[in-house]
Amino acid sequence: MDRRTTIKWMFAAAATAPSLQVSFAAGAEAMARDVAAGQQGYGTDPNLVAEWKPGGPWPLTLTEAGRLTTKALADLIIPADDHSPAASAVGIVEFIDEWISAPYPQQRGDREIVLPGLAWIDGESQKRFGKTFHAASEAQRAQIADDICSAAKATPELATAAKFFAKFRDLTAGGFYTTPVGMKDIGYVGNVPLATFDGPPIEALKKAGLA
């Protein structure tokens, strides 16, 4: 969306809020003066996807070992199949690294879960198999994941690890299924006009108890 469209929305909102009309009117006058003076304005918003580079907004957190562990676990959660690539192929490692590095309360909280969790899963793999998690076989990785993939079924000593796995799984799925590849994988159409809308399939309504 360009800034011109945003400004149009702002003026429309101001029209419904009398207390804001004075400030918006003043802003409009200032903008008009800029235009009259030959100012070019702000232009369109940057293409953040095209211009983003790792570590751009803030320093990243994961070490090389952490990135390898993140890749191994993310690809265990969403492996490649006939429809789409593995999670790491669409930038999930970079996404998680960026997420836990962000200086905001939610991300800082997630960082306190993810970083110790990655250290734990590497240590657990060393304890069980004598190798780091990313160096373990897929079956060995799955054995550890099976023990922590359900908080309800995890033993008390694995409760913290299960909390980590739940958070990591949410980040992996959230990142993957908001990429074009992930949206295509689940059949998400998005903002595309339809000639007709027949409503939810009867099978879905029956499953939800609505038919």
Q: DSSP of 42-56, one letter per residue?
A: --SPP-HHHH--TTS
**H helices of 132-201, where?**
138-148, 159-176, 180-185
3-state secondary structure of 108: helix
CA 68 – CA 54 distance, rounded (Å): 16
Single pTM value for the model? 0.69
* pLDDT tens digits, one per residue of 63-101: 999 999 999 999 999 999 998 999 999 999 999 999 999
Structure tokens at 118: 């990655």
9-48 tens-digit pLDDT: 443 444 444 444 444 444 545 545 544 555 555 556 556 5
